[in-house]
C-alpha cells in the first residue's frame, strides 16, 4: 500500500488534512499534525482537539487523508476506514508508544484515530509532466517560502 516514498513524505510532513463526512452528509476537512505511519497499510493520529472529527468518524468511518510536501510539489492521498480508541482502551495503550515524538502533547490527548488504508496514491505536480526536477523544485519553492516569511 504505502511505498517508501509515500512513507517518507508523510513522516517529513506530519501535518495532514483529514476528510470526513458529518452526520448530515456534509464534507469536513480538518488538519492533524500528529500522524504516524504504523505499517504499509496503517496510519494513526492523535485526538487532541478533534471532537467533530471524532463525531464524524463514529457516524461514518470512511476517511481520506492528504499529506502535502509544498517544497517538492508532491502529495500522498490515502483512503481508508478509521476507528477511534479512547484513553481507557487496551488499543490506546498499545498505540500510544508510537507517538513518542509527541510526548509533550500527551496530557491533552483524548484518544487515537487509527486508519486502515485501502488505497494510497502519490500525486505529483504537473510541473513534473514538463520535465521539472525534484531538487530544483525544492530549492525554488523553499526560496519562495523563505521570502514570504522574511
Domains annotated for the chain, with CATH where assigned, are 4-149 (2.30.110.10)
As a dihedral over the C-alpha atoms of residue 100, residue 114, residue 73, residue 131, rounded to 10 degrees, the angle is 120
Over residues 76-90, the pLDDT tens digits come to 999 999 999 999 999
Q: What value does the CA radius of gyration of the chain take, rounded to a whole number of Å? A: 17
Over residues 27-62, the pLDDT tens digits come to 999 999 999 999 999 999 999 999 999 999 999 999
CA-closest candidate to residue 123, choices 57, 62, 72 = 72
Residues 67, 13: Cα–Cα separation, whole Å: 7
| Non-local CB neighbours of 68 within 8 Å, separated by 6+ positions | 13, 17, 74, 75
CA-closest candidate to residue 82, choices 110, 45, 27 = 45
Here the cell at position 95 is: 498505540
Cell 530549492: give the residue: 139
Cβ 84 vs Cβ 95: under 8 Å: no
Query: Mean pLDDT throughout 6-35?
Result: 96
pLDDT band at 108 (very low <50, low <70, confident <90, very high): confident
Cβ 114 vs Cβ 83: under 8 Å: yes
The predicted model scores a pTM of 0.93
pLDDT band at 12 (very low <50, low <70, confident <90, very high): very high
Q: CB under 8 Å, gap of 24 or more: what pairs does 33-38 form?
A: 34/99, 34/102, 34/105, 35/10, 35/65, 35/67, 36/98, 36/99, 36/101, 37/2, 37/7, 37/10, 37/11, 38/95, 38/98, 38/114
Amino acid at each position: 500500500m504505502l511505498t517508501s516514498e509515500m512513507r517518507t513524505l508523510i513522516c517529513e510532513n506530519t501535518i495532514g488534512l483529514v476528510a470526513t463526512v458529518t452526520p448530515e452528509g456534509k464534507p469536513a476537512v480538518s488538519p492533524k499534525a500528529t500522524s504516524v505511519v504504523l505499517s504499509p497499510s496503517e496510519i494513526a493520529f492523535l485526538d487532541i482537539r478533534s471532537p467533530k472529527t471524532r463525531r464524524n468518524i463514529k457516524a461514518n468511518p470512511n476517511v481520506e487523508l492528504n499529506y502535502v510536501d509544498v517544497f517538492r510539489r508532491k502529495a500522498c492521498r490515502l483512503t481508508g476506514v478509521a476507528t477511534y480508541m479512547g484513553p481507557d482502551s487496551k488499543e490506546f495503550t498499545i498505540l500510544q508508544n508510537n507517538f513518542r515524538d509527541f510526548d509533550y502533547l500527551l496530557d491533552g490527548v483524548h484518544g487515537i484515530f487509527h486508519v486502515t488504508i485501502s488505497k494510497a496514491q502519490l500525486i505529483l505536480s504537473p510541473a513534473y509532466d514538463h520535465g521539472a526536477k525534484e531538487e530544483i523544485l525544492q530549492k525554488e519553492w523553499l526560496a519562495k517560502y523563505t521570502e514570504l516569511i522574511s
